[in-house]
């Protein structure tokens, strides 16, 4: 199976602007931002889609939400949107689960 762009970023094969990382996730700036703040929260575990999340992955999903809170506080965001696109019909382009954290929408 070919590595996703996110796995290549985590392996240092592709550069990215990293905002945060720990043993479970990496957070990078989106290369085509849709808002003033547009981050991608990516688990290190390669799970293809939200529909592939298992019961054992639930602590990881909770951690992703916790990281979103930490980033919102760190960046002093007054509000934000946390989005997951699931499957091709749901707009997912990279089949390695990730969440978009957006704030400060362009007018």
Quote the pLDDT of residue 1.
Answer: 61
The pLDDT score that the predictor gives to residue 105 is 79
Domain count, the chain: 1
CA dihedral (20, 25, 30, 33) in degrees, to 10, reads -80
Is 98 catalytic? The answer is yes
pLDDT tens readout for residues 41-65 = 999 999 999 999 999 999 999 999 9
Give me the pLDDT at residue 107, please.
Answer: 59
Catalytic residue among 38, 96, 98, 100: 98
Query: In this predicted model, what pLDDT tens digit does every residue of 61-91 receive, in sequence order?
Result: 999 999 999 999 999 999 999 999 999 999 9
Token output for 34: 């849709």
> What is the sign, positive or negative, of the torsion defined by CA atoms of 71, 27, 98, 39?
positive
**Confidence (pLDDT) at 106:** 67
Q: In CATH, what number is assigned to the domain containing residue 59?
A: 3.30.428.10
Q: Which residues form the domain of 101?
A: 5-105
pLDDT at 91: 96
Q: Which residues contact 67 (CB under 8 A, 6 or more apart)?
A: 20, 22, 25, 27, 41
């Amino acid at each position: 199976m070919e590595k996703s762009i996110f796995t290549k970023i985590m392996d240092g094969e592709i550069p990215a602007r990293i905002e945060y990382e720990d043993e479970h996730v990496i957070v990078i700036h989106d290369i085509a931002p849709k808002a003033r703040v547009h981050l991608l929260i990516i688990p290190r575990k390669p799970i293809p889609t939200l529909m592939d999340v298992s019961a054992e992955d639930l602590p990881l999903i909770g951690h992703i939400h916790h990281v979103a809170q930490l980033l919102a506080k760190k960046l002093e965001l007054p509000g934000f949107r946390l989005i997951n696109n699931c499957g091709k019909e749901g707009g997912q382009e990279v089949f390695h689960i990730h969440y978009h954290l957006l704030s400060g929408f362009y007018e």
